[in-house]
Amino acid sequence: MALDNSYLQYPERSYGMDHNRYDWSMLAQRKPVQWPNGKKLAVWVNVGLQQFPLDQKGVPFKVPGGMTMPYPDLRHFSLRDYGNRVGLYRFLKAFDKYGVKPTFAINTELAEQNPYLLDVILKREDELMCHGWNMDSLHFGGQEQAAEAELVTKSVQRLREISGQAIRGWISPAKNQSENTPELLKANGIDFHCDWVNDDMPYAFNTNNGSMWSMPLSTELSDQFVLMNNLHSEQSYVEQIIDATSMLAAEADSQGGRILALQIHPWLLGQPHRIAKLEQVLAHLAARDDVWFAHASEILDCYTKQQ
């Protein structure tokens, strides 16, 4: 039987996007922005601090990086936990050595259950972003609205309470959203989210509760995508970031400041055989005189002041 003729009808076929979340706009045609002190490249190092529950529900899908074996999948549970116990402290040493200002996207449940870890981050005066409740608490199309509203509120408000920070940014677990996630984030006072990987610069994102910002946190360049999804070598990870750095800095010459966003995870790059590669990347960036290491909110504020 042939398809219904509606399959050849195109109700959204008109100027701009096929939805109302943001306006159609080409990066190269926007007004250039300037970073402080004439720097070309804002470097946003975003560390995912994640809790993967052993009793993963996997609704509506198994989160990438989560449990894959029958219960109890101790290998994946403990290997992810390794990042928060061991890998993170290797990261912190490296950040301090190279003068990096990291931003930490944390699952609120992890922050709540590990006051020592939270305290370490808070003492550094680095920025915390909310990364949802835990890695198995997904946001997805068709999710019951009240349940998602409770999940967002609990995740954001509880993190504010225990950290004392404003908590302006959000990354969904698996960077997946429901139809309502942006409205719920805005209603909870979130200024920016990082799930939509469609730009290299911030842009205005519409919600029914008012406008917020989308910040460009590349998935393609994340350690998880390069090393775990693509199975590229650690050396290739370094090369990809170095190539991206020189490309974006060159583009900044004619188009204004650019952002290099590195999404990294201590359970991956914090391993003994990988940490030197992260250090190599950070050393490369720190040696450039056109790099501005900054927290996510600092970059966004600098950008929005020029709009």
Partner 1 sequence: MKSNPEYYDYWPYQNRPKITWPGGAKVAFWVAPNIEFYELNPPKNPHRAAWPQPNPAVPGYSIRDYGNRVGHIRQMELLEKYGIRGSISLSTALCDHHPEIIEMCSERDWEFFSHGIYNTRYTYGMSEQQERDMIKDSMETIYRSTGQKCAGYLAPALSHSDHTIDLFAEVGSELFGNDAGIYTCDLFHDDQPTNIHTRSNKRFVSIPYSLEMNDTIAFVVNKIEPRRYGQMLKDNFDRLYQEGEESGTVMCIPTHNYQVSCPHRIKAFEEALDYITSHDDVWVATGREIAEYYRDNYFDMMKADIDDRVLSLNTKGAK
Residue closer to partner 1 (CB basis): 134 or 178: 178
What's the CA gap between 145 and 180, in Å, rounded?
7
Beta pairing, strands 212-214 & 291-293 = unpaired
User: Smallest distance, Å, CB 222 to partner 1?
Assistant: 11
The interface with partner 1 within residues 124-183 (CB under 8 A) comprises 140-142, 174-179
Bridge partners for 279 per DSSP: none
Of the candidate spans 17-25, 44-52, 117-125, 126-134, the one that interacts with partner 1 by CB under 8 A turns out to be 17-25
What is the CB-side half-sphere exposure of residue 292 using CA atoms within 13 A? 20
Structure tokens at 180: 């309502």
Stretch that binds partner 1, among 27-35, 48-56, 82-90, 91-99 (CB under 8 A): 27-35
Q: Which tokens sit at 192?
A: 């920016």
Both tokens of residue 195? 């799930």
17 vs 147, beta carbon nearer partner 1: 17
Query: Please, are residues 50 and 136 in contact by the beta-carbon 8 Å criterion?
Result: no
Q: Where are the beta strands (DSSP E) in 50-191?
A: 102-106, 127-130, 169-170
* Least Cβ distance, residue 38 to partner 1 (angstroms): 21
Q: Which two tokens stand for residue 307?
A: 């709009």
Least separation in angstroms between residue 140's CB and partner 1 is 6
Paired tokens of 166: 């404003």
Q: Is residue 31 close enough to count as binding partner 1 by CB under 8 A?
A: no
Would you say the C-alpha torsion 98, 226, 198, 138 has a positive or negative sign? negative
263 binds partner 1 (CB under 8 A): no
Segments of the chain assigned E as strands: 41-49, 102-106, 127-130, 169-170, 192-193, 203-205, 212-214, 258-264, 291-293
- Assess 206 for contact with partner 1 (CB under 8 A): no
Q: Which stretch binds partner 1 (CB under 8 A): 43-51, 69-77, 163-171, 247-255?
A: 247-255
**Using rule CB under 8 A, residue 187 touches partner 1:** no
Q: Does 73 bind partner 1 (CB under 8 A)?
A: no
Q: Is there binding between residue 20 and partner 1 (CB under 8 A)? A: no
Interacting stretch for partner 1, rule CB under 8 A, among 72-80, 205-213, 244-252, 278-286? 244-252
Which positions from 98 through 117 interact with partner 1, judged by CB under 8 A?
none
Binding-site size, partner 1 (CB under 8 A): 59
Mask: binding to partner 1, 216-235, rule CB under 8 A, as x and -?
--xxxx-------xxxxx--
Q: Which residue has the tokens 């005066």?
A: 125
Q: Smallest distance from the beta carbon of 194 to partner 1, in angstroms?
A: 11
Token output for 28 = 């190269």
Binding partner 1 by CB under 8 A: which of 167, 185, 248, 302?
A: 248
- What's the farthest any 2 CA atoms get from each other in the chain? 66
**Cβ neighbours for 304, distance < 8 A, ≥ 6 positions apart:** 202, 213
If one asks whether residue 16 binds partner 1 (CB under 8 A), the answer comes out as yes
The residue ranges that bind partner 1 (CB under 8 A) are: 2-3, 5-8, 10, 12-19, 24-29, 60-61, 140-142, 174-179, 195-200, 218-221, 229-233, 236, 239-241, 243-248, 251, 260
